[in-house]
Structure 1
Amino acid sequence: MFLGTYAPKLDDKGRVILPAKFRDELSSGMVVTRGQERCLYVFSQREFENIQVKVRQASLTSKQNRDFLRLFLSGANQEIPDSQNRVTIPANLREYAGLGRELTVIGAGDRAEIWNTEAWNAYYESAEADFANTTEEVIPGLF
């Protein structure tokens, strides 16, 4: 499970050292792809295989499904951390997420997310007020 917030740096070659707490889960491979809100999703190889099972069940007659799958899967890149635990973020994904040197990596349960730090801070500021003022059950049975 991926939890927490971290602030690694992107090096000049487009590589990032993911948080030590994520290494066991990601050491045998991962998939990095476009996420929503212009972040990147990082799935363990095992979790991405679970997603693939669900993807194969999606109706191809739904334009919304096709559009989502095209964007989600066309950006997917399999990566294996190098001996120094660095992962290369492909140029097209760095551009999509607007990544510069300053990154924020968050744990989001079944995945990690990589954000441009300014974008994360703006998102957090906007979403936190809604989170604090939530009066309805958002996730059934959670609270």
Structure 2
Amino acid sequence: MESLFVGQHEHSLDAKGRIVLPASFRSAFEPSGFLIKHSEGCLALMTPDRFGEIAGQMSERSQSGGPHGRAAKRSFGAGAARVLPDKQGRIAVPEELRRFAGLQRECVVIGAIDEVEIWDAGRWNEMNAQGESLLAAPESGTEAAERA
């Protein structure tokens, strides 16, 4: 894996809808990055290579998936945005994506191993509590469900 993203960083959206990328993440997005709507109500920031992998998978599915596959590919492309960090390491988050993720002023930028996620601080606290409980007691999560 080319880029590994780890850590949790609290940042605020500015009045123009920009957020600062943590310094440890910036080099992976120097040329550009791609913001997409994540299925869990946050935004995912991906390197061009990672975005290309997922876009390729979506394209393959659309060819064999009929109208549903093509609709998913369209929505994926329409809901994505190329972002270019400025000299201060800020990226502009388009208004549509801010609305999707419920981003207010206080946000949390996390490293999610192969991508960076941008969360509304309140949503992140809820999601993180759930994730931490699964780390503390993995048997109560998917492993137990798989055995049932």
TM-score using structure 1 length? 0.86
Is contact 1:34-1:71 (8 Å) kept? Answer: no
Deviation by residue 1:27-68 (Cα, 9 ceiling, x = unmatched): 1100001002110010011221122222222133273x4454
Deviates further, 13-22 or 69-78? 69-78
Q: Which residue does the alignment assign to 1:97?
A: 101
Tell me the SS of whatever aligns to 1:36.
coil
Preserved CA contact (<8 Å) 1:4 1:107: yes
Per mean C-alpha deviation after superposition, the further-off stretch among 118-127 and 49-58 is 49-58
2:80 aligned with 1:76, yes or no? yes
1:9 Cα deviation after fit: 1.1
Aligned to 2:39: 36
Within 1, Cα distance between the matches of 2:133 and 2:67? Answer: 35
Other-structure match for 1:7:
10
Contact 1:31-1:42 within 8 A present in 2 as well: yes
TM-score, with length taken from structure 2 = 0.84
SS of the counterpart of 2:104?
Answer: coil
CA RMSD of aligned residues (A): 1.9
| % same residue | 35
Residue 65 of structure 2 is aligned to residue 60 of structure 1: yes
Structure 1 stretches of 5 or more lacking a match? Answer: 139-143
Contact kept? 2:11, 2:108, Cα under 8 Å: yes
More helix by share: 2
Contact 1:35 1:72 in 2 (8 A): no
User: Counterparts of 1:115 and 1:40 in 2: how far apart (Å)?
Assistant: 7
Are the aligned partners of 2:11 and 2:109 in contact in 1 as well (CA < 8 Å)? Answer: yes
Task: Give me the whole-angstrom Cα distance separating, in 1, the residues matched to 2:114 and 2:9.
Answer: 16
Equivalent residues of 2:21, 2:91 under 8 A apart: yes
1:61-94 per-residue CA deviation (whole Å, 9 max, x = no partner) reads 273x445434332210001111221100000000
Contact 2:58 2:72 in 1 (8 A): no
Aligned match for 2:130, one of 120, 126, 132 = 126
